[in-house]
Structure 1
Amino acid sequence: MNLRFILYKVLILCFLPYCLYSQSSEVEKFRHVESFRARMDSLFNSKISSDGPGAGILIRYDGQEIISKGYGLRDLETGEKIGPETNFRLGSVSKQFTALAALSLVEEGKLRLEDTVGNILQVPALSQISVAQLIHHTSGLAHYEEYFFHEWDTTKIVENKHILDWYKNEPEPEFAPGEKWEYCNGGYNLLATVVEKVSGQGFAEYARKNIFEKLGMEHTTYFNLAEPTKIEERAFCYEKSEGKWKKVDGSYLNGCLGEGAVYTSLNDFSRYAEALRNKEIFSEEVQALIFSVSPVEVPFEKEHSYSFNSGKSLGYAKGWFIDKDVAHHTGTWFGQRSMVVRGLEQPFMLALFMNLGDSDLRKELIDNTYKLFMEYLDNR
């Protein structure tokens, strides 16, 4: 028998088991992911009505998109369904993009986190507060909501310039800057104003050019009701009133940028998640700041308790609550709920966007999604 032919047969016999094992492993892996997706369908279909507002869920792991899917309707009038391209209002999940806009200026050498807000904005009442304290919710700023909820003419849209004017009147602070941690939406509105002042551009435009376009988030934007732009594939926001869904997208507070107001899709957010994973948004030094926490610890309260962090201490970074190995943030606004969860040791990102106002449902969906996903990882 030809020696070359014998060697060829030996090689085939040696490598055949490996090839069969590899194919079997891929089949088994595929079977597991399909089983996981079926369980996710079962979870969301049991909680989201096909003829009402709903949710979009994105899960990425180690550079791969495991699921990106919508449930329910983005527009009850037209009956259009939610999908990966649907643009949701994010509420306070937007804060991480406001922080990124500020870090972009740090990257350019135009801003330092220790810079004084009062000096930048020429507001003596803010002279003791640093940019970092705005970002980390340790500024001690008074909460603007009390005034604008009860004393503002609600026929007029509230914008960041109005919030800045209110802070110029030196409202009584909650505490001395840096003394403790207390969540403050007004701090992120002022942070957006700082970005405007330092960059010389409108905040939404600066974020679009320096954050969203850079990350390939082509359909992501800040939305200002005082100067409205069309949101393609928009998920309108709904609240239930007397047993019926009511559209609630027209709040007079929907002109405030920084604390919220980002619209994005699962598709765009997936690109952002991958850029975070690859650490390709900024230079290594500035990138490291994204998940660096304030020295002031966050009081752990019931609202922070989820299946992935119950009973743990928390810190606050740049639009993220941080515990030992998980970062997260929620978004709550009229007719919307959202939540993102990112592993700091495991390479995963979960994003849940909802166009209905139900915090209990958000918690139930994110807790169960996290548990199902961890089971999937364990069984792969």
Structure 2
Amino acid sequence: MQAAVRLSSLIALAVAAPAVVVPSAQAQTTPAPVDLKASLDRLLAASYSADAPGATIIVTKGGAPIYAGARGLADVEAGAPLTPDAVIRIGSITKQFTAAIVLQLVAEGKLSLDDTMGKFFPGYPAPGAAATVRQLLNHTSGIQSYTGIPGWMVAANTGRAFTTDQLIAEFRDKPAEFQPGERWNYNNSGYVLLGGIIEKVTGKPWYDAVQARIAGPLGLRTIRYGNPPTEADWARPYTRGAGGIGAAQAIDMSVPQAAGGLVGSVGDVAKWAQALHHGRVVRPDMYKQMIAPTRLNDGTVNPYGFGIANGWVRGVADLEHSGGIFGGSTDSLYVPSQDLFVAVFANTDAPQTRPGTVMRKAAAIALGKPYVELAPVTADVAAIEPMLGVYRIGGGPDERRFLARDGKLWIRRGSQAPSEVYFAGDGRFGLRGNSLTWFRVAAGEGGAYTMEMFQNGEEPGERAIRTGPVPPEAPAITLPRATLEGYVGKYALRIGEATVAFGAGDTLTLQISGQPAVALEATGPTEFRAARVGADITLDGKTLTIRQAGREVSGPRAQ
């Protein structure tokens, strides 16, 4: 359940004082080294407040827990704290379970990875009918993802129950995004269809297959379908809106279905990972295909396999997957060479710190390769000013812009949204918002400045050379209020409802549902920019178009 464009700036959120983390009886761990426990306690306390929705975490080595913790509240209204055993919506980590069952059925000869959609869904329109099971698994089917249909992800849809056939009908006749195998594009519809295939082959709901084939045999007590959320171990799902912390948007778990409809605890997902990666779930030849990168028709390779992606943490290869859903944000990784697993689950879709950031920091600590820790220091403006400018990356056409605006420092790559930067001394700069990314600027030979960017804190850094100052932006203009009034209203976008309204004076603001409003500056009669988030906006009275980070989303005026 992911959005294509998000109008949000990277703002670091304050956190409260540390709280003592006490694993519950069901999450007792083997003794961990004092320095590891102390380091992870500090990490958790620095990442989440004790008096707000928070997160749970587990770290295992060789399948044995070496750390389990929780920080924050499972029930804000009741003041009930999270425990490591809390059951949280795991979102798209569900896809691993769905993929594994499909591979089990392939191994049993009940279907083939090369079977086409048309075999299971007669009459499904082309070109989707020609997409194979394999292409559903690796997100190359080209079928329209229902979570990307403009205006679809509203409470009126997400809050009601669907049968599998009813949910498929929501996207079945939508135009394909591309021919099967032509491109890679993350696709929730593909996994709904896989859930439907499981149901047709097994004769039972996809989630019953999860229970019968995985959760039951492996003793995963908390891994279950998310309907209904009535058990005592359930952590309530939250979001953060203009009014502060509140209940997350309603979502019946028949909506995320086999793409994201499971719930569970970090401990049980750790047990699942240990079983999956040690041959106790799918046959070795099937597992090999599950974790293999995807090769497209033109030979291009994408790191995603079947419900799992290949990645890196501190230079060590890992296998990972995250999840995002109303009321939940999760991330997990497994390092095969170290038999190390880390998972962080938040019971909110607007966590103070992204679970993926905490997960990577925890994994780095466990690997003995902690990330560089930076802290803001008072900036020497005179010393920093010569460093600002355009930096060419690796001698190619790509560039980064390091600039000052509104008394703050920003870094921006190409058309991506700018990220606010803080000075950390000795030519080092960190990105705000609990980011792991940082960079160093130094004077090279001949006095030319070079920039070394450590994306996600990984080494070696990406090198760029300063080519000159940042060119001036197009000046803002003032439009008549009568013209602006023609743009005010609500617009239906696939990422949510967008509201254009008047801000201070004769200026407009844009707000996507669930996000803060951003100010718009007019640069032309129908052109605007949201400088704070690096987005360009077009309004013509009928349609709203947002271009941000190389992506574009449009939607019609709803009212």
TM-score, normalised with respect to structure 2: 0.55
Q: In 2, are the aligned partners of 1:137 and 1:187 still within 8 Å (CA)?
A: yes
Residue 317 of structure 1 aligns to which amino acid in structure 2?
G
Which residue of 2 is the match for residue 215 of structure 1? 218
Is residue 62 of structure 2 the alignment partner of residue 62 of structure 1? Answer: yes
* Deviation sequence 1:222-274 (CA, Å, 0-9, x none): 224xxx36344111111112353101162357633111011011221122122
Partner of 2:358: 365
CA deviation digits over 1:336-368, x for unaligned, max 9?
111011113331111111112236711432332
Name the CA distance, whole Å, in 1 between partners of 2:369 and 2:31.
11
**Partner of 1:320 in structure 2?**
308
Could you say which residue in structure 2 is the equivalent of 1:199? 202
* Cα displacement (A) at 1:77: 2.6
Matches of 1:158 and 1:223, distance apart in 2: 14
- What is the rounded CA distance, in whole Å, between the counterparts of 2:336 and 2:296 in structure 1? 20
Question: CA–CA distance in 2 between the matches of 1:69 and 1:294?
Answer: 35
Within the alignment, does 1:344 sit opposite 2:332 as a pair?
Answer: no
The aligned residue for residue 13 of structure 1 is none
* Unaligned runs of at least 5 residues, structure 1: 1-29, 301-312
Secondary structure of the residue aligned to 1:278 is coil
Q: Deviations over 1:29-52 (max 9, x none)?
A: x99722111111111112211121
User: Which residue type is aligned with residue 138 of structure 1?
Assistant: T
Structure 2 regions of 5+ residues with no counterpart? 1-29, 371-559
Per the alignment, residue 7 of structure 1 pairs with none
Kept in 1, the 8 Å contact 2:50–2:71? The answer is yes
Q: CA deviation at 1:315?
A: 1.4
CA contact (8 A) 1:159 1:256 kept: no
State how far apart, in whole Å, the 1-side matches of 2:369 and 2:124 are. 54
Please tell me whether the aligned partners of residues 95 and 258 of structure 1 are also in contact (alpha carbons under 8 angstroms): yes
Counterparts of 2:31 and 2:190 in 1: how far apart (Å)? 47
Offset at residue 150 of structure 1 (A): 6.8
Match of 2:165 in 1: 161
Instruction: Name the counterpart of 2:549.
Output: none
- The SS at the match of 2:292 is coil
DSSP-derived class of the 1:250 partner: coil
1:149 to 132, 147, 152: 152
**Per-residue Cα deviation, 1:293-340 (whole angstroms, up to 9, x for no partner):** 322399x9xxxxxxxxxxxx8511121111472111111111211101
Report the alpha carbon displacement of residue 182 of structure 1 after superposing the two structures with TM.
0.8
| Alignment pair present for 1:331 and 2:334 | no
State yes or no: 1:246 paired with 2:246.
yes
User: Amino acid of the residue matched to residue 163 of structure 1?
Assistant: L
Paired residues, number: 333
Change (3 A) 1:168 1:50: closer
Per-residue Cα deviation, 1:40-98 (whole angstroms, up to 9, x for no partner): 11111122111211101111122321112211111123322222221110111111111
1:330 maps to a residue whose letter is S
In structure 2, the partner of 1:136 is 138
Aligned counterparts of 1:333 and 1:153: Cα–Cα separation in 2: 16
**Residue of structure 1 equivalent to 2:393:** none
Asked if the contact 1:135/1:188 (under 8 Å) is kept, the reply is yes
Deviations 1:124-150 (A, max 9, x none): 313201001000000011122315617
Report the 3-state secondary structure (helix = DSSP H, G, I; strand = E; otherwise coil) of the residue aligned with 2:134.
helix
Conserved? CA contact 2:96–2:307, under 8 Å: yes
**Aligned pair 1:180/2:198, yes or no?**
no
- Which residue identity is paired with 1:135? L
**Take 1:151 and 1:355, find their aligned partners in 2: how far apart are those partners?**
20
> Cα 1:232–1:191, aligned 2, differ >3 Å: closer, same or farther?
farther
Q: Is the contact made by 1:87 and 1:232 (CA closer than 8 Å) also made in structure 2? A: no
Q: Deviations over 1:276-300 (max 9, x none)?
A: 34221133333333312322399x9
More strand by share: 2
In structure 1, distance between residues paired with 2:61 and 2:369: 11
Letter in 1 for 2:260: G
DSSP 3-state at the match of 2:334: strand
Cα contact 2:88–2:263 (8 A) shared by 1: yes
Alignment partner of 2:368 out of 358, 365, 375: 375
- What is the DSSP-based 3-state SS (H/G/I as helix, E as strand, rest coil) of the residue aligned with 2:319? strand
Q: Distance in 2 between matches of 1:368 and 1:193?
A: 38
Moved more, 276-285 or 130-139: 276-285
Q: 1:82/1:295 Cα in 2 relative to 1: closer, same or farther (>3 Å)?
A: same
Please state how far the C-alpha of 1:158 moved relative to its aligned partner.
Answer: 4.2
The one of 348, 353, 361 equivalent to 1:356 is 348
For residues 188-219 of structure 1, give each alpha carbon's deviation from its aligned partner in whole angstroms, at most 9, with x where no partner exists.
11110111011111111111111111221122
Which one has more relative contact order, counting CA pairs under 8 Å at least 6 apart?
1
| SS of residue paired to 1:326 | strand
Distance 1:369 1:317 in 2: 24
Q: 2:351, 2:79 → 1: CA distance?
A: 24
Q: Identity of paired residues, percent?
A: 26
Query: Is 2:282 the counterpart of 1:290?
Result: no
Distance in 1, Cα, partners of 2:113 & 2:185: 19
Q: TM-score, normalised by structure 1?
A: 0.79
Return the alpha-carbon distance in structure 1 between the equivalents of residues 31 and 216 of structure 2.
Answer: 36
Q: Output the CA distance in 1 between the equivalents of 2:32 and 2:65.
A: 14
Structure 1 CA distance for aligned equivalents of residues 269 and 304 of structure 2: 21
| Residue aligning to 1:17 | none
- For 1:116 and 1:277, how far apart are their aligned partners in 2? 28
Higher helix share: 1
